């Protein structure tokens, strides 16, 4: 910028010298000088407008330049938005606080209770046609979609009160442990805002930046959210119907098996089961293999079905389950065995309550 500024000045001086014989009075001289100052002012202002504000942190300025170069985002718009974005220490505290070591029973009571069961029945009755349509298209049972929405936001009544721009910016630049992930989600959020035409500072969500009735992260919003009510826009914050279709689409894209089991209780008759627990929650072992190892499902399951051995800590007693492909898919929504089991249990309870 300084070199260009000097070059412009040199050109003006040369032009001035060349035209000196023609400058018969001071008015002409001042007119030329005024023109030069005006041109320099406009040029200098445009140079400043093409750079992020120096008041912003260097990491954020670099991020703005990246968004401009990679996605043709307007730097002025981003500079203005980031200048109004707030660092949130409470977000860092919430995401850094380890989950309490609670038992499965304690966790279950938070989500599988009469309030959520009754709310789930009401939600299902209100959107019975839309849930049936989602099951037909995506293969996901109504009660599973209802249970996920019930656990995530109590059927849309608690979608979060943190500005998503604040939360994601704080985590992207002040949470080194997962900075890369949240920087990617911040990038996805900016792209989502442009696509959906909402204000960057207008959307509120969870302290981790999850949005709307189903609590989708921005990347998932862009990849999996659908316009299920066919009104020409995708609105996970205001449309329960879009949320229903989006949850069904999300689960199918992660491999939901229509009509497949989720989980069954298991009996252990061998001391050599630890290796199956340590193998993780992805279903890699056939029921036949598990039977031969002394691990038996308590419900009838085909021998060639793949499953994973799960343990739920329950006040000193050991509770064992077998999780199938659909259980694993639910953990792609939230990577917690307790979470997936709560969805499974709440879904069963909602279906039973509605049937009765």
Quick one: which of 144, 116, 95 has its CA closest to 250?
A: 144
Q: What is the spatial order of strands in the sheet that 317-323 belongs to?
A: 285-286, 306-314, 317-323, 263-268, 295-297
For this structure, is 106 an active site residue? no
- Inter-CA distances, 100 with 104, 106, 153, 250, Å: 12, 11, 21, 29
Separation between Cα atoms, residue 293 and residue 295, nearest integer Å: 6
Token reading at 165: 């721009």
Active-site pick, 142, 152, 185, 187:
152
Tokens of 51: 């750079």
User: Cα torsion at 346, 215, 154, 242 (round to 10°)?
Assistant: -90
Residues 250/145, Cβ–Cβ less than 8 Å: no
Q: Cβ atoms within 10 A of the Cβ of 79, count?
A: 19
Angle of CA points 229, 231, 236, to nearest 5°: 60
Instruction: Go through 290-317 and write b for each residue having 16 or more CB atoms within 10 A of its CB, e for each that does not.
Output: beebebbbeeebeeebbbbbbbbbeeee
**E runs forming strands in the chain:** 162-163, 204-205, 263-268, 285-286, 295-297, 306-314, 317-323
Q: Which candidate, 117, 106, 111, places its Cα nearest to that of 143?
A: 117
Which helix (H) or strand (E) segment is 132 a member of?
helix 128-138
- Active-site positions read 152
């Amino acid at each position: 910028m300084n070199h260009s500024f000097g070059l412009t000045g040199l050109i003006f001086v040369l032009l001035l010298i060349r035209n000196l014989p023609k400058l018969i009075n001071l008015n002409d001289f001042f007119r030329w000088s005024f023109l030069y100052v005006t041109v320099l002012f406009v040029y200098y202002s445009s140079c400043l407008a093409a750079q992020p504000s120096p008041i912003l942190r260097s990491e954020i300025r670099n991020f703005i330049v990246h968004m401009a170069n990679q996605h043709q985002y307007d730097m002025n718009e981003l500079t203005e938005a980031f200048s109004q974005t707030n660092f949130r220490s409470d977000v860092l505290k919430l995401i850094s606080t380890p989950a309490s070591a609670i038992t499965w029973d304690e966790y279950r009571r938070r989500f599988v209770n009469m309030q959520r069961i009754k709310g789930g029945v009401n939600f299902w009755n209100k959107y019975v046609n839309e849930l049936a349509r989602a099951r037909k298209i995506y293969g996901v049972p109504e009660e599973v979609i209802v249970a996920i929405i019930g656990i995530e936001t109590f059927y849309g009544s608690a979608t979060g009160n943190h500005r998503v721009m604040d939360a994601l910016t704080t985590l992207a630049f002040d949470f080194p442990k997962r900075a890369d992930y949240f920087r990617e989600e911040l990038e996805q959020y900016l792209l989502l805002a442009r696509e959906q035409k909402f204000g960057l500072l207008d959307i509120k969500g969870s302290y981790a930046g999850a949005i709307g009735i189903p609590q989708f992260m921005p990347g998932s919003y862009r990849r999996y959210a659908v316009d299920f009510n066919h009104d020409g826009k995708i609105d996970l914050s205001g449309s329960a119907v879009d949320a229903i279709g989006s949850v069904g689409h999300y689960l199918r894209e992660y491999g939901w098996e229509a009509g497949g089991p989720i989980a069954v209780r298991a009996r252990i008759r061998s001391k050599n089961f630890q290796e199956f627990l340590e193998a993780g929650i992805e279903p890699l072992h056939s029921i036949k293999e598990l039977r031969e190892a002394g691990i038996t499902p308590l419900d009838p399951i085909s021998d060639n079905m793949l499953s994973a051995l799960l343990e739920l800590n329950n006040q000193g007693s050991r509770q064992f389950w077998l999780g199938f492909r659909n259980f694993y898919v639910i953990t792609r929504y939230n990577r917690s065995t307790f979470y997936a089991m709560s969805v499974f249990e709440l879904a069963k309870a909602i279906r039973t309550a509605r049937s009765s």
